[in-house]
Amino acid sequence: MDSCIFCNIAAGLSPARILYQDAQVIAFHDIRPLAPVHLLVAPRQHIESLNQAGPQDEALLGHMLLVARQLAQQEGIAQSGYRLVINTGSDGGQTIFHLHLHILGGKRIAYPLRDL
């Protein structure tokens, strides 16, 4: 997917402040943070959104959550708390159509999300 920014980041073709990468996922700082800590975890494989994930992606989805937990610990927000968000589709707030998980923390995250 030449036009997908997250595919390009995963391939090393676009810059990002990468915090973690392995054979399945890449994690990096969001360029428009909504909290003091705002990280993204994206699969290297292009999956448009959670709606396109299937049973074959079950291990990958679980791996994304465990990487998020590891990054929360690494960034010092695990004890105070953090929020994980997957936006799905336009009405769900998805703007980059490559599945990704947001890690938000470093301050009290109010509910609803518009209060970020």
Catalytic residue among 38, 46, 100, 102: 100
In the chain, the domains with their CATH numbers are 5-115 (3.30.428.10)
pLDDT at 84 exceeding the cut of 50: yes
Q: What mean pLDDT, rounded, does the chain reach?
A: 94
Smallest CA-to-CA distance from 86 within 71, 104, 72 is with 104
Helix (H) or strand (E) holding 19: strand 18-21
For the question of residue 100 being annotated catalytic, the response is yes
Question: pLDDT, tens digit, for every residue of 61-77?
Answer: 999 999 999 999 999 99
* Tokens matching residue 4: 């997908």
Band of residue 111 on the pLDDT scale cut at 50, 70, 90: confident
pTM of full prediction above 0.95: no
